[in-house]
Amino acid sequence: MEGMDTDHDAAPPAPQRPAPSARPVRRFAPGVLAGLCAAGGLFAMRGPLMMSAPRCAAGRWHGCLDTFNGVVLVTLVAVPLSLLVAWGPARRRRAAGVPGAWRRSLAEVGMVHGTVPFVWLTMMPGAGAGTVPGRLSLVPLRDLVTMGPLGIAGNLLVFASLGFFGPVRFAALASVPRVLALGAGCSVLVETAQYVLRLDRVSSVDDVLVNAAGAGLAALASRRWWRTAVPAPADLPRPAAVRAG
């Protein structure tokens, strides 16, 4: 009996706390890693970027918007302005009860902010612009060797923002083949403009292939945030009619 009383008087075991989930860490790890990589790249390029700062601050075209460093510097400085531009539509959408208001607004601004500077760089004229005829390179994979790692990386980034944010904003683009087609089509337009305007650049099929590949890879990176199509009322299943009696 004493043993039974002892069992009744014993305190119940303390509930075990569940182990902390690693899901939040996994959720933010890619963003933190991307931020660290971007910060490292900016730190490595701080010298060349600062060389263009005085001319860009003075509003001079030469030495700012006609150089790689100047375009990159202006793109970085314009990030707060782009966020402010996205804030207005996001606020109106939230007030109207639109789901994913911030995501849509950021995707719209991100497509423009991340694509226009790279297209601007690809359309910069060379030293013989207007005097030399347009040049074509239509043999696939022949120019990849001469591009080098930096050239390939730059071509991958030309339409990366379009591929990343396009499916986030438009449900019609929520497909890797469609993003690849969009990236290839936009690249063909750029290469055609280079040839027609005689910008002293080589219009290469390899540029189209690498640009499209960059858009497709960026689309895969944003796949978890893709916008899915909402079925129309006519597509929803209707309840079967029940006869009275």
Kindly report, residue by residue over 118-161, the tens digit of the pLDDT. Answer: 999 999 998 889 899 989 999 999 999 889 999 999 999 999 99
Q: How many domains does the chain have?
A: 1
State the pLDDT at residue 83: 95
Residue 11: pLDDT band (50, 70, 90) is low
Task: Give dist(CA 101, CA 108) in Å, integer.
Answer: 11
Residue 166: pLDDT band (50, 70, 90) is very high
User: Residue 10 pLDDT > 70, yes or no?
Assistant: no
State the pLDDT at residue 60: 84
State the pLDDT at residue 236: 46
User: Residue 230 pLDDT > 80, yes or no?
Assistant: no
Mean pLDDT of 100-116: 95
Q: Looking at the domain assignment, is residue 208 inside a domain?
A: yes
Residue 52: pLDDT band (50, 70, 90) is confident
Residue 30: pLDDT band (50, 70, 90) is low
Task: Give dist(CA 70, CA 78) in Å, integer.
Answer: 12
The answer to whether the beta carbons of residues 45 and 72 sit under 8 Å apart is yes
Q: Looking at the domain assignment, is residue 148 inside a domain?
A: yes
State the pLDDT at residue 162: 97
The answer to whether the beta carbons of residues 140 and 209 sit under 8 Å apart is yes
For the record, the structure tokens of 189 come out as 């337009």
Mean pLDDT of 51-65: 86
List pLDDT tens digits, range 73-104.
999 999 999 999 999 999 999 999 999 999 99
Output the average pLDDT for the chain. Answer: 84
Q: Looking at the domain assignment, is residue 223 inside a domain?
A: yes
Q: Looking at the domain assignment, is residue 210 inside a domain?
A: yes
Which three-class secondary structure state does DSSP give residue 196?
Answer: helix
Residue 129: CB partners within 8 Å, gap ≥ 6? 197, 198, 199, 200
State the pLDDT at residue 228: 79
The answer to whether the beta carbons of residues 191 and 203 sit under 8 Å apart is yes
Mean pLDDT of 210-237: 80
State the pLDDT at residue 97: 93
Parent domain of 159: 117-229
Q: Looking at the domain assignment, is residue 14 inside a domain?
A: no
Q: Looking at the domain assignment, is residue 110 inside a domain?
A: no
Q: Looking at the domain assignment, is residue 194 inside a domain?
A: yes
User: Residue 54 pLDDT > 80, yes or no?
Assistant: yes
Task: Give dist(CA 69, CA 121) in Å, integer.
Answer: 10
Q: Looking at the domain assignment, is residue 175 inside a domain?
A: yes
Among residues 122, 106, 99, which one has the least CA distance to residue 214? 122
State the pLDDT at residue 235: 43
